Amino acid sequence: MVIISKLVNSKLINREKVSIYTNIEGFFHEHLILATMDKNDRVNLMPLTFKSVGNILGEICINIFVSNNRYSCSLLENGIQEFTLSRGNGITQYIEKTGNSSGRNINKIKEYNIPLLNGMETKVPVLADATESYECELIGSVEKSEFLGYKMFIGSIKGVYLHYKNS
Residues β-bridged to residue 84: 35, 135
Question: For 46-54, which contacts have Cβ atoms below 8 Å and span 24 or more sequence positions?
Answer: 46/70, 46/71, 46/72, 46/98, 46/99, 46/103, 47/94, 47/95, 47/96, 47/98, 47/99, 48/85, 50/150, 51/27, 51/85, 53/20, 53/24, 53/27, 54/154
User: Based on the structure, what is the number of domains in the chain?
Assistant: 1
Predicted pLDDT at 75: 97
Domain assignment present for 14:
no
Domain assignment present for 23:
no
Predicted pLDDT at 14: 87
Domain assignment present for 16:
no
Domain assignment present for 77:
yes
Rounded CA-CA distance 142/20 in Å is 22
Per-10-residue mean pLDDT, the chain, length 167: 51 84 91 96 96 92 95 96 95 92 92 94 95 96 90 96 80
Domain assignment present for 86:
yes
Predicted pLDDT at 9: 52
**CATH number for the domain that contains residue 137:** 2.30.110.10
Domain assignment present for 41:
yes
Predicted pLDDT at 62: 97
pTM listed for this prediction? 0.91
DSSP 8-state class, residue 145: G
Domain assignment present for 72:
yes
Distance of CA 74 to the CA centre of its chain: 15
Predicted pLDDT at 80: 97
Domain assignment present for 22:
no
Instruction: Identify the domain containing residue 99 by its residue range.
Output: 30-159
Predicted pLDDT at 1: 44
